[in-house]
C-alpha cells in the first residue's frame, strides 16, 4: 500500500465517521474531503473543483429547477388533488393504487417534492376524517423511493452512478435501461408494505392533531391585486367585515395606516389589509377575493405566492420568546417566512393593537405561527429551537393555466428527448430549464431559493474523491482485496453482497456519498472477475436508493419521522423486512436481466 492510498483511506475513514456522527452537515463533510485531497496534493486544483462542472451534477441542478417549476405552478398539487376520489375507497384498494401513483410520479419528478405534496394532502384528508394518515404516510414515502429508482432521472443517485460508469469507459445508462428491475421491485414491494403496514403501523396518529382550518385564527397581511372584486367597495359591503368570519384590523396604504372609519373606507388596488382569519379562509378566500398573501413583516411586503403552510407552536424555553414578529422573521433562514401569527383578539378592545403586534414581547409561549418554506428545514429549526411542529396545509395556488401547461411540457420534453436518445439527458434538461425560464414559468430568484444547494455541494465535493481513488489506485487496491475474497463466489451472491453492503451503508450516510465511494470499487471487482459491471453498478444504485430501514436513510423518511407519528422501530421493522426481500429479489433478477 502506497502513502497516497493510505492518505485516501484515512480521509475516507474520517469522512465516514463525520457522516455517521453528523458532527457536520453532509455538504460541509464533502467540503472537508475536497480540501483534504487538495492539501495533500492527491488531486490538482482543477480536479478538486471538477465536481461543479460534472455532467451529472449539472443535470441534477437542471432537473431541480424544472421540479421547482412544477411545484411552484401547482402541477404536482393538481395531480395529487385529482386522485382524492380514490381515497374514499376501502384501504386495501386505495393504498396500493396511491403507492403506484406516487411511484409513477417519482420516476419523473423529484421524489421529495412529490412525497411532500402527498404528505400535505393526506394531512388534510386525515383532519376531515377521510383516512388515517398513520397508515398511509410511511407507505407513501417508501413508494416514492421505489419509484425514483425506475428511471435515469428519478433520483440524483441514478445520475451519479451513470456518470461514474461513463468516466470508467462503460458508458452512460439509457433512460429506461434499468426500469424493468425497478418495476419488479415496486410490484413486489407494494403488497408487502401494505400487509406489513396493516400489522405494524399504529392505527391512529400519535401526535396531537390540530384542525387548523376551524380552531385557530391568525393575523396576517394581504394585498389587493389588480382586478380584485374588493376594489371600489367599502369593507362592510364585502366578506372582510365583522359580520363574517374574516375580520379587518387595519388598512395600510403605502407605509401609513388609515385612521379613518374603516367601515366606510373605499378600498383601492394595492391596499394592504391586516386581517384576522382562519387558515381555511386564508387559503380559500384570498384567491376568490383577489388577494395576495404577504405575511407579517412590514419590511417584506412582496407578492409571494405559496400553496403550503406549516404550523409551529412556540414552547416555553424557545429562544424566540419575547421577540417581535419582525425579529422572529429575521432570525429564520431567507427561504423561510412567517406568514401569520395566531390572534389574541386584543384589537377589539385596543385600537392600537397593530402596533402591539410588532412590539418586543408579542411572541409568547403557546403562540401558533404559520411558516412557509422547505418543510424538512422547518422541522429541523423546530427541533433545535424548542418549537413544536404540528401540521401542514396544502392548497392549490392561483396560477395562470399557461404556466401549468408549459411546466408540464418542460418535464415531458426532457423525458421524450432523453428517452429517445435525441439528446443527452443534460442537453434535454437544459432545454427544459430554458423553456421554463424564458416563458416566465419560473423566475431565477425562485430557482436560486428552491434549489437544494446542500445536495449540489455534497456531490461536487464527493466527485473529487472518486478521481482521487482512480489516480492513486485506491479503487484497484480495495478491488483486488475484494477479488481475493469473492473470486470463487457465484455472481448472484456477489450482487447480493454488494447490494446488502450498499443498502447498509446508505442507512447511515448519504446515498449519493455511498454510491460515489462504492461504484468505482465494484467496477474493479467486475473487471477482475470478468463480469459485466452493469449488474453490480445497478446493485450499488438500487442499494443506495433503498434506504428503508432507518428514518435517516432518505429525506422523505426523515420528514415523516419528524412529524411524530412513527417511531424508529416502525422503520426498522417494516423497512428491514422490505430490504431483506428486495435483497433476495435483486440477487435473482439483476444477473438474469442484465448479465
226-285 pLDDT, tens digit per residue, is: 888 888 888 777 776 655 567 777 888 877 777 667 777 888 888 888 777 776 676 667
Q: Do 304-398 and 215-303 fall under one CATH topology?
A: yes
From residue 422, how far is each of 57, 427, 435, 497, 534 by CA, in Å? 21, 10, 17, 37, 23
Nearest Cα to 308, choosing from 293, 298, 323, 318?
293
More confident residue, 477 or 335: 477
Instruction: Please give the average per-residue pLDDT across 40-48, as a whole number.
Output: 91
Instruction: Please give the average per-residue pLDDT across 455-477, as a whole number.
Output: 88
Q: What is the percent of the chain with per-residue pLDDT over 90, rounded to a whole number?
A: 27
Q: Does the pLDDT value for residue 207 go beyond 70?
A: no
Which band of pLDDT confidence, cut at 50, 70 and 90, is reported for residue 39?
A: very high
Arch. (CATH architecture) of 215-303? 2-Layer Sandwich (3.30)
Please identify, in words, the CATH class of the domain defined by 304-398. alpha beta
Q: What is the pLDDT of residue 427?
A: 93
Provide the pairing of β-strand 291-295 with 272-278.
Answer: unpaired
- Residue spans of the domains in the chain: they are 215-303, 304-398
Count of beta carbons in the 10 Å neighbourhood of residue 515: 31
Which band of pLDDT confidence, cut at 50, 70 and 90, is reported for residue 538?
A: very high
Q: Does the pLDDT value for residue 449 go beyond 80?
A: no
Q: What is the pLDDT of residue 299?
A: 53
Residue holding cell 422523505?
556
Q: CA quadruple 133, 139, 145, 146: dihedral positive or negative?
A: negative
Q: At what angle are helices 55-72 and 75-82 packed, to 10 degrees?
A: 60
Q: Which of 23-27, 458-462, 571-575 has the lowest mean pLDDT?
A: 23-27
Q: In residues, how long is the chain?
A: 595
Residue holding cell 394585498?
223
Q: What is the pLDDT of residue 129?
A: 65
Q: Does the pLDDT value for residue 555 go beyond 80?
A: no
Which three-class secondary structure state does DSSP give residue 208? Answer: coil
Give the list of residues 6+ apart from residue 51 with CB closer than 8 angstroms, or none: 34, 57, 459, 460, 461, 462, 463, 464
Q: Which of 191-205, 299-313, 461-475, 553-567 has the lowest mean pLDDT?
A: 299-313
Q: What is the pLDDT of residue 213?
A: 42
231 φψ region: left (φ > 0), alpha (ψ -120 to 50), beta (else): beta
Amino acid at each position: 500500500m502506497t502513502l497516497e492510498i493510505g492518505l485516501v483511506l484515512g480521509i475516507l475513514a474520517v469522512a465516514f465517521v463525520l457522516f455517521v456522527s453528523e458532527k457536520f452537515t453532509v455538504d460541509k463533510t464533502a467540503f472537508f474531503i475536497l480540501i483534504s485531497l487538495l492539501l495533500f496534493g492527491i488531486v490538482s486544483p482543477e480536479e478538486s473543483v471538477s465536481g461543479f462542472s460534472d455532467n451529472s451534477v449539472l443535470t441534477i441542478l437542471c432537473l431541480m429547477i424544472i421540479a421547482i417549476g412544477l411545484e411552484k405552478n401547482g402541477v404536482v398539487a393538481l395531480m395529487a388533488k385529482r386522485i382524492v376520489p380514490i381515497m374514499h375507497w376501502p384501504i386495501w384498494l386505495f393504498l396500493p393504487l396511491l403507492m403506484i401513483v406516487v411511484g409513477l410520479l417519482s420516476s419523473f419528478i423529484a421524489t421529495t417534492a412529490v412525497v411532500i405534496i402527498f404528505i400535505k394532502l393526506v394531512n388534510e384528508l386525515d383532519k376531515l376524517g377521510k383516512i388515517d394518515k398513520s397508515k398511509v404516510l410511511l407507505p407513501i414515502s417508501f413508494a416514492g423511493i421505489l419509484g425514483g429508482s425506475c428511471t435515469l432521472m428519478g433520483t440524483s443517485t441514478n445520475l451519479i452512478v451513470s456518470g461514474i460508469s461513463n468516466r470508467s469507459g462503460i458508458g452512460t445508462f439509457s433512460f429506461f435501461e434499468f426500469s424493468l428491475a425497478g418495476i419488479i421491485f415496486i410490484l413486489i414491494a407494494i403488497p408487502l408494505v401494505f400487509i406489513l403496514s396493516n400489522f405494524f403501523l399504529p392505527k391512529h396518529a400519535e401526535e396531537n392533531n390540530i384542525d387548523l382550518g376551524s380552531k385557530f385564527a391568525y393575523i396576517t397581511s394581504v394585498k389587493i391585486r389588480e382586478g380584485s372584486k374588493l376594489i371600489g367597495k367599502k369593507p362592510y359591503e364585502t366578506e372582510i367585515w365583522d359580520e363574517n368570519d374574516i375580520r379587518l384590523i387595519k388598512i395600510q396604504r403605502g407605509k401609513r395606516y388609515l385612521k379613518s372609519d374603516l367601515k366606510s373606507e373605499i378600498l383601492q388596488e394595492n391596499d394592504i389589509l391586516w386581517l384576522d382569519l382562519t387558515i381555511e379562509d386564508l387559503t380559500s378566500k384570498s384567491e376568490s377575493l383577489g388577494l395576495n398573501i404577504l405575511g407579517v413583516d412590514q419590511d417584506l411586503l412582496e407578492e409571494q405566492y405559496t400553496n403550503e403552510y406549516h404550523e409551529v407552536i412556540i414552547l416555553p424555553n424557545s429562544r424566540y420568546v419575547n421577540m417581535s414578529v419582525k425579529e422572529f422573521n429575521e432570525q429564520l433562514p431567507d427561504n423561510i417566512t412567517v406568514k401569520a401569527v395566531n390572534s389574541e383578539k386584543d384589537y377589539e378592545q385596543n385600537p392600537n393593537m397593530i402596533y402591539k403586534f410588532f412590539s418586543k414581547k408579542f411572541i409568547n409561549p403557546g403562540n401558533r405561527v404559520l411558516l412557509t418554506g422547505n418543510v424538512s428545514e422547518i422541522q429541523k429549526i423546530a427541533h433545535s429551537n424548542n418549537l413544536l411542529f404540528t401540521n401542514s396545509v396544502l392548497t392549490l395556488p392561483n396560477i395562470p393555466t399557461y404556466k401549468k401547461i408549459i411546466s408540464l411540457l418542460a418535464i415531458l420534453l426532457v423525458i421524450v428527448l432523453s428517452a429517445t436518445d435525441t439528446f443527452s439527458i443534460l442537453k434535454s434538461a437544459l432545454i427544459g430549464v430554458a423553456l421554463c425560464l424564458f416563458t416566465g414559468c419560473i423566475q431565477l430568484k425562485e430557482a436560486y431559493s428552491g434549489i437544494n444547494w446542500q445536495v449540489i455541494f455534497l456531490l461536487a465535493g464527493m466527485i473529487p474523491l472518486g478521481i482521487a481513488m482512480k489516480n492513486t489506485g485506491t479503487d484497484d487496491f480495495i478491488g483486488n482485496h475484494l477479488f481475493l475474497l469473492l473470486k470463487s463466489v457465484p455472481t448472484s451472491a456477489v450482487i447480493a453482497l454488494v447490494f446488502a453492503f450498499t443498502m447498509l451503508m446508505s442507512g447511515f450516510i448519504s446515498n449519493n456519498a455511498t454510491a460515489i465511494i462504492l461504484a468505482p470499487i465494484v467496477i474493479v471487482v467486475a473487471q477482475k472477475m470478468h463480469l459485466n459491471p452493469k449488474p453490480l453498478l445497478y446493485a450499488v444504485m438500487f442499494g443506495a436508493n433503498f434506504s428503508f430501514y432507518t428514518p435517516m436513510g432518505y429525506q422523505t423518511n426523515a420528514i415523516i419521522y419528524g412529524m411524530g407519528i412513527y417511531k424508529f422501530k416502525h422503520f426498522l421493522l417494516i423497512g428491514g423486512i422490505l430490504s431483506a426481500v428486495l435483497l433476495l429479489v435483486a440477487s435473482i433478477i439483476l444477473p438474469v436481466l442484465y448479465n
